[in-house]
Amino acid sequence: MSIHLFTITHKPFTPPGDSLYVPLHVGRANSQDLGYLGDHTGDSISALNSNFCELTGIYWLWKNYQKEDYVGICHYRRYLINEKGSIFTQNELEDLLSRYDILTTRLLTLPVPYREGFSANHHEKDLLALERILKEKYPEYHPVFHELVNSPHTYFGNIFVTSRENFDAYCEWLFTLLFALLKETDFTGYNNYQKRLFGFLSEFLQTVWIRNHQLSVCECMVGMVGEKYETRMLREELASLLEKRDYQGAKGCFLKHYEKRPDVLMEASDVNGELRLCMQIISTCEFEDEAYGRCILDDIRDYPALVEHFGRLNTAVSHQARGYADAQDKAFLRQNALVTPMAKEIALRLFGEPL
């Protein structure tokens, strides 16, 4: 069984040592050579990477690379991993692929139906146009599309491993739909995040494809390696402002970034959860200042110490809300002078359960 997992990247990175994983530079037509296999030769849509994201690599593999029995897609920061937390080996993949049609991510359960979540950060007209195109070209898929677009479930990341036969059939269907949508899409007024339209839609379409064909799915954990450069820079800027007691400046900084990248708080971007913790710190400071005329930043401004304090606060609140707080949790909440009633209330709201 011949298998390769192509590691999609647009920047230099340290690839896994296993030759099973092959770096693939997407958007190569618009960037400098990184020394990896590129998606810009032969039949290629590499120049459309700003709209198609990792799909320019998937398209190139479909049209130009026919060497493998099984094809896999992962990212330079995200890999399917086994229960031990390690990337899959050839033997492990062979075993799983003998029992399943496709390996992919665990199914996400969104807080709202997919249609509502998409429309909050993108242009709903594009999703409506996609549904119309699908109904016209592949009417047999529409019942499943309609069901899923009104449900909160989707796979994510375009991360999967499947047979060449499945891969080719999926790409034929996927790009027929997306190229038809491209012909009628006007990107005027779209920010850079929204211009990545086809990358986002394809994640949902993968879910539709799998469900419609009733494929047997092995849902795998996704391992995160490092964090995005943009995430690190934002976190460092927030830390600098908090250390100056400028929580309002930190709030403005975050909102400005969030407007450009509304996915910034998703697990794929905020790997260690510190950006969400920063938002909690900022909110706590605002309410404490209003209620008490002072806030946590009058006592702690060192960023690592703030992260440690709020991490401990959230753990204690979580334990108490669920009925298994130990003596240390209770002492932290009741006796720590830096834990105000306002701070506890905000932490409690994040968990949504009463103390």
Full pLDDT tens readout for the chain, 355 residues: 899 999 999 989 888 889 999 999 999 999 999 999 999 999 999 999 999 999 999 999 999 998 889 999 999 888 999 988 889 999 999 999 999 999 999 998 888 899 999 998 899 999 999 999 999 999 999 999 999 999 999 998 999 999 999 999 999 999 999 999 999 999 999 988 899 999 999 999 999 999 999 999 999 998 876 556 667 788 889 999 999 999 999 999 988 887 777 665 655 555 567 788 888 999 999 999 999 999 999 999 999 999 899 988 988 888 887 777 788 888 888 888 889 999 988 988 875 443 3
**pLDDT number for residue 21:** 96
**pLDDT number for residue 352:** 45
**pLDDT number for residue 353:** 47
The tens digit of pLDDT for each residue in 199-215 reads 999 999 999 999 999 99
Report the SS3 class of residue 269.
coil
**Where are the extended beta strands (E) located within the chain?**
3-9, 21-25, 37-38, 70-75, 78-81, 102-105, 108-109, 153-154, 160-163, 217-224
From the list 165, 177, 331, 301, the residue with the least C-alpha distance to 240 is: 301
**pLDDT number for residue 325:** 76
State the virtual CA torsion across 30, 36, 38, 42 in degrees, nearest 10: 140
State the virtual CA torsion across 187, 160, 204, 147 in degrees, nearest 10: 160
Distance spanning both ends of the chain, measured CA to CA: 55
